[in-house]
Amino acid sequence: MDASAIGWWSCPECGSDAELPGADTAGYEVSCPDCSGAMTEQWEWENAAA
């Protein structure tokens, strides 16, 4: 995942969703903030150039 990419994550256990920056999530398992499950990345997109 590119450091400038944004990822949309979802928890299959409770259905919680989160939008997270690629630099913070690359190579890590993302824990759900609402339950003890692990979130999965649904899609990602690049930030617009400034």
Per-position pLDDT tens, the chain of length 50: 445 678 888 999 999 998 887 766 767 788 898 998 999 888 776 655 55
The residue type found at 18 is: A
Secondary structure class of 17 (helix, strand, coil): strand
Domain locations along the chain: 5-46
Whole-number pLDDT of residue 22: 74
Q: What is the pLDDT of residue 11?
A: 94
Q: Kindly list the distances between the CA atom of residue 11 and the CA atoms of 4, 16, 34, 47, in Å, as whole numbers in the listed order.
A: 23, 5, 9, 23
- Edge-to-edge strands, sheet with 17-21: 17-21, 5-10, 38-46, 30-31
